[in-house]
Amino acid sequence: MAIYFKTLPILVGSLFLAVEIFPRHFVGTSTPVLPSYQLTCTPAKVVKGLTQNVRLRCERNPSVGSNLQEIERIRIMKLTQWGRWRTIAQITDYDSGVETDDDQMNATGLVGLSKAGVFLETTWPLAVQETFGVYKCDVVGLEKNFYHVEEVTAEVEIKEQNLTGIGVLNFITQMKNGIIAKVKANANRLRGIKKSRTQKAISILGKDYVSRDLLVTWPAGLYGLPQARSGCPVDLAFYGGDTGYVRFQVEPVIDEFHDKFHLAAPIMENTNKASFFSLHFCVVTRTFSSALWPDGSYCIHQKGGSCPQTFHITVSNMTGDFDLASYNSTYGGSLPDLGPTVLCCKDSGSPSNSIDLPTETPFYLYPYGNVCQQVRNMDVIPENIRVQPKGTHSPLSFDLCYYAKLKDSIND
């Protein structure tokens, strides 16, 4: 169901229980609604006080076309006992982050160009009484003709049901089987990574030289790196896919901005109303290696409030910083420590002396000073990011070093 209007309306900010998810129709209609946006809930069954990560997600329905070109607001609402709808989470293109009214719930989202994968997601880490109820989502955006349109999803009901003792046992068994399946899948993926490295070792050992690259893994510690266009490094340290992003409104930048850098896309999104800058991160949240970082002159992001061994905390050479509180920003996923920007740096060697780091996939480091650290068997390209956050903020400017494997390189 779509509602057209030319001006944007004002926005006003021990018994186990099981939950079944029931799609509903719009009030006042007799046929199922197929809007271009959909609200879904996972998992399908939930037990109060037992089930973790109960999610409501509002996003595009891939099977239904949409005329919306740019999304300005997404909100998830809950039906109250008085028959009114209460907003529990909302994200707009002019506010900072996602607004919620439930401190037991987490929320993340993205608005902007429709093709950019806009969404709003709420998560209860553990199912509570407040989780139950009827929900819907509405989306406000612009069509090609610059008409504002509001699209409303079908309602979703999270309904309480009493479970018998057998039902509880069956539910716990299902959860156990699900956990076992995930553990097996993770174990298979780990075996796949190890098998790939072993096969490569056998292949290289059959040649006339032994590749130093094979013996190098990402060093120990918790840290973050800017994400390259090719993705995160293929290594056990980055196993699990812990990634995150920061996105905030900036002054308009020319389209050629994309072509100058190797950062993960989208970097800059220009619309007819605003421009947005995004920076994506690869984050190590667990350690698989005891290797120390090599001596040199370079920096990485801090994670978990401290630096990896042999690094020291340094106030970054950035002009400005990732001031998420005052920027008109959204962010999600796993992020390194940002805020008033500090980096973990090493200044224990010359940047001209090559160090050993994995070369399988491209990656980014920050320079310590103005010169990029040399990495054995890698090309390095200095890059400088400069954007002007919207408002009265200082420009944000910082240097990066992009590393890509040398073609047909042979270890010395």
Nearest-10 Cα torsion for 310, 312, 317, 323: 120
Tokens of 117: 């994968």
In a domain, 285, yes or no: yes
Tokens 């389209």 map to which residue? 255
Same domain, 236 and 315: yes
Residue 176, CB-side half-sphere exposure with 13 Å CA sphere: 6
Same domain, 11 and 114: yes
In a domain, 196, yes or no: no
Compute the distance between CA of residue 69 and CA of residue 145 in angstroms, rounded to an integer. 10
Tell me the H-state helices in 3-78.
none
Whether pTM > 0.75 for this model: the answer is: no
Same domain, 232 and 292: yes
* 374 secondary structure, DSSP code: P
Same domain, 88 and 220: no
pLDDT value at residue 319: 52
Same domain, 113 and 256: no
Same domain, 227 and 347: yes
pLDDT value at residue 19: 42
pLDDT value at residue 210: 45
Number of domain units in the chain:
2
pLDDT value at residue 34: 62
Would you put residue 107 in left (φ > 0), alpha (ψ -120 to 50) or beta? beta
In a domain, 21, yes or no: yes
In a domain, 112, yes or no: yes
Same domain, 158 and 219: no
Nearest-10 Cα torsion for 29, 35, 39, 40: 100
In a domain, 256, yes or no: yes
Strands (E), 285-362: 297-302, 312-315, 329-333, 342-347
pLDDT value at residue 214: 53
In a domain, 169, yes or no: no
Choose one of 162, 179, 203: the last residue of a domain.
Answer: 162
Compute the distance between CA of residue 342 and CA of residue 321 in angstroms, rounded to an integer. 9
Choose one of 127, 162, 197: the last residue of a domain.
Answer: 162
Same domain, 270 and 146: no
- Domain containing 156 equals 2-162
Q: Can you give the pLDDT of all 412 residues of the chain as single tens digits?
A: 555 444 444 343 433 344 444 444 333 333 444 678 999 999 888 888 878 889 999 998 888 877 788 888 999 999 998 999 999 999 988 776 888 888 888 999 888 776 667 899 999 998 888 999 999 999 988 887 778 888 899 999 987 766 665 566 666 776 777 778 778 887 787 777 777 766 765 665 555 444 455 567 889 889 999 999 988 887 777 765 578 888 888 887 654 555 678 998 888 887 777 788 888 999 998 877 788 999 999 999 998 888 998 998 876 656 555 655 556 677 888 888 876 667 899 999 999 999 999 988 899 999 998 899 999 999 999 998 888 887 766 778 889 999 999 874 444 4
> What is the CATH number for 100?
2.60.40.10
Decide: helix, strand or coil at residue 314. strand
Tokens of 258: 């994309």
Note whether 278 and 229 are within 8 A (CB): no
Same domain, 228 and 313: yes
In a domain, 368, yes or no: yes
CA 73 → CA 26, 145, 179, distances in Å?
Answer: 20, 18, 36
Choose one of 101, 127, 162: the last residue of a domain.
Answer: 162
Same domain, 260 and 153: no
Helix (H) or strand (E) holding 47: strand 45-47
Tokens 């271009």 map to which residue? 36
Compute the distance between CA of residue 115 and CA of residue 118 in angstroms, rounded to an integer. 7
Same domain, 354 and 220: yes
Same domain, 27 and 158: yes
Note whether 222 and 304 are within 8 A (CB): yes
In a domain, 47, yes or no: yes
Question: End-to-end CA distance of the chain, in Å?
Answer: 66
